[in-house]
Amino acid sequence: MKKIQVAIAVSVAVLAIMVSGISVYAGDTEKININTASADELTQLHGVGPKYAAKIVAYRDQNGPFASPEDIMKVSGIGQKTFEKNKELITVE
């Protein structure tokens, strides 16, 4: 009886994880426009804290708008890994 309860609990936990994963990928995620987002909004990007958000805003102020999402890598400290984590979230439109 105890084994059945444990098996049910594990099954429910696995199902909950699967459902939460599906909802994350199934929903439309609102994109962040790196040309207009505030520093606070930019911190919603993966791996971008207040320091890098401020660098993105400063770069944009000094160099004008980003022409493509990939241009975020022109900001000091924002590399390929950070871009790859966020490429589906970033827009310049």
* Whole-number average pLDDT of the chain: 83
Burial 29-66 (b: 16+ CB within 10 A, else e): eeebbbeebebeebbebeebeeebbebbbebbeeeeeb
Residue 89 CA, distance from chain mean position: 6
Global pTM value: 0.69
Q: What residue ranges define each of the domains in the chain, with the CATH number in brackets?
A: 32-91 (1.10.150.310)
23-68 pLDDT tens trace = 344 445 689 999 999 999 999 999 999 999 999 999 999 999 999 9
